[in-house]
Amino acid sequence: MRHFNLNFQYGGDIRYFTFYCLSDLHLGTIVDERLLDTTVKEIDANPLAFWFGGGDMIEAVNHKDNRFDTDTIASWVGLKDPIGSEIEYAYNKLKRIAYKGLGLIEGNHEFTASRDWVRDVHQTLCTKLDLRSFGSAATLNLIFRRGEGTNRGGVVTFPGLIAHGTTGASKTNMVRSLAEPLSMFDVYSGIRFCLMGHTHDSNSILFNREFVDINGRKSKKCLAARMGGLMKYMGYSQRRLYKPIQPSIFKFYISPSRDMITTNLGDITERSLV
């Protein structure tokens, strides 16, 4: 598993950062592109917004794949080279916010395209968007440093795990299983968040966990979440009896000043900063 340190600078007037999870976009089939376009505009307009790519950014199947479905293929897909046209389409959708991207996870659709069709979709998208590859899973340190001119120094780090996942997309009712990957890390690791894709829903849980550092034991809030997806309930997702899911894009907030991670903005904005 790869590891990355991602650095952010903030001042005393910055209350929170917003992180979007663009996962399971499946561009190439019929998806909620309006939601994606709206989210891209939000990210571009907010100087403190960033995004992760959670895998399956495009559909990445061709006519020899049993997932290929002419009833649900997007009208813009070039049938001579569907994967190539999807790569270009995804690039054009996301290039506006490439400078806000933190990295891309490789999903199972990118993986099978590489294995079966010798098309390295994941690396091609990383190269075109100039983004780092997280591989299929990665541990991250989101490191927040106070900038010059502030009256307090200090560094706040939020360690986390991001992965695409491989469980069946129909098994989305086990909300509590979201926290299971965090159990791989002991109380000394400091892991504060776990982001998983593949199942297309965006449920999440916030819970307290006790950690140990040089200052002793301390209880901190942690986040476990599924990153959402844009695919509509039709085609092979319906034939395989996947659970109907509303298209969604998951986002969460981090307040370095409060050492807080949350999905509820009110937790940050409705309280005075320390």
What does the pLDDT average to over 159-168?
81
What does the pLDDT average to over 91-97?
98
| pLDDT tens-digit readout, 182-228 | 666 655 567 899 999 988 888 888 888 777 666 667 788 889 888 99
Categorize the per-residue pLDDT at 121 as very low, low, confident or very high, splitting at 50, 70 and 90. Answer: very high
Q: Check residue 238 and give its pLDDT.
A: 61
* Residue 118 CB coordination number (10 Å): 7
Per the DSSP assignment, residues forming a β-bridge with 270 are none
Q: Which residues of 149-185 are buried (b: 16+ CB within 10 A; e: fewer)?
A: eeeeeeebbbbbbbbbbeeebeebeeeeebeebbeee
Instruction: Return the closest-CA partner of residue 253 out of 229, 234, 225.
Output: 225
Q: Which residues of 213-228 are buried (b: 16+ CB within 10 A; e: fewer)?
A: eeeeeeeeebbbbbbb
End-to-end CA distance of the chain: 36
Place of tokens 């895998």: 55
Interacting residues of 81 by C-beta distance below 8 A, sequence separation 6+: none
Q: Is the pLDDT of residue 271 over 60?
A: no
- Name the pTM for this structure: 0.88
Q: Check residue 104 and give its pLDDT.
A: 98
- Contact at 8 Å (CB) between 40 and 93? yes
The domain ranges of the chain are 2-269
Q: How far apart, in whole angstroms, are the C-alpha atoms of residue 124 and residue 86?
A: 11
β-strand 216-226 against 204-213: which pairing, if any? antiparallel
Categorize the per-residue pLDDT at 102 as very low, low, confident or very high, splitting at 50, 70 and 90. Answer: very high
The more confident residue out of 92 and 62 is 92
Q: Is the pLDDT of residue 171 over 70?
A: no
- Contact at 8 Å (CB) between 103 and 53? yes
Categorize the per-residue pLDDT at 180 as very low, low, confident or very high, splitting at 50, 70 and 90. Answer: low
β-strand 248-255 against 228-229: which pairing, if any? antiparallel
Q: Check residue 274 and give its pLDDT.
A: 32
DSSP 270: T
How high is the mean pLDDT of the chain? 84
Please name the fold of domain 2-269: Purple Acid Phosphatase; chain A, domain 2 (3.60.21)
